[in-house]
Amino acid sequence: MSLYADPPDWELVTLGELLRWPLPYQEGAVNRGLLRAVALAARGRVLAVSGLQNVRAGYDPFILALNHSTRTEALLVPAVLTLHRGGRLIHFMADWNFRLIPGIGLLYRRAETLTVTTKPARPRVLDALRPLYRAPGSVLDHARATLARGRSVGVFVEGTVNRDPETLLPGRRSAALLSLETGVPIVPVGIRFPHAAPGRPIGDGDAMEVRIGPPLLPRERLERPSPAALRAWHATVMGEIARLSGKRWSPAPGSGRLVGAPPRRAALPPPSHGAAP
């Protein structure tokens, strides 16, 4: 298969197809094996992915902005996207607590995640280990440096797992801030759970569909975005995620309609076939 033709939507693949999947951007047999193993685990959980043409490796850098309904999607969705990108990583922001879990910590290190150390550990006694995972500078500084190197960044913008089947959380503005500061487009992603029982919280075992929207390009690059500009761009992004995920969104609990300017969709250039890993 070609990495540069428009990719088909993800559907369930066989073990043989996974083993033969080209991964030119993944170095080392261990990394390739781990990626294929997690992608295999996604077969029964990620039912479909549409819009893969919007996250091809040649379109880096971009900021992937997703809703967040289960703990498992933080492993499975990045693995499926990395597989379709030929092994080229999207560097997701991830809570440091997960690095304490055997196996998960290994996967996060191999995936070169951007570690967020703001939340306390569970149990709290493990907070003594937090300095071991805190890198110099903020996670936003590391995200800016990642984008400047031509790499893409992933953000679960709700900031925590939200099991509400109908409504998004107001969300955090880090993705919008990075986009305005750098001029890098945001690729909105909605994760749906079509077979979840209506009226109950979304569970970690519920199968998901992933819908990737076209890139959203900020109207201008702002070294220091004003609160109003940041608020409006965040609302635009969250509105697209709401549309893709099939959920409602409002900027604050109890507030009304969506706010924000109509999105400006980025025109996708031809992918750079020789993009460096």
pLDDT at res. 266: 62
Counting residues of the chain whose pLDDT is more than 90, the rounded percentage is 66
pLDDT at res. 44: 84
pLDDT at res. 133: 77
Residues of the chain where predicted confidence (pLDDT) is lower than 50: 1-5, 254-262, 273-277
Q: Domain 15-245 is of which CATH architecture?
A: 3-Layer(aba) Sandwich (3.40)
Instruction: Kindly report the pTM of this predicted structure.
Output: 0.86
Sign, Cα dihedral of 164, 154, 31, 18? positive
Sorted by sequence, the CB contacts under 8 Å of residue 246 that are 6+ apart come out as 190, 192
> What DSSP line would sit under 162-181, residue for residue?
---SSB-----SHHHHHHHH
Q: How many CA atoms lie within 13 A of 53 on its CB side?
A: 10
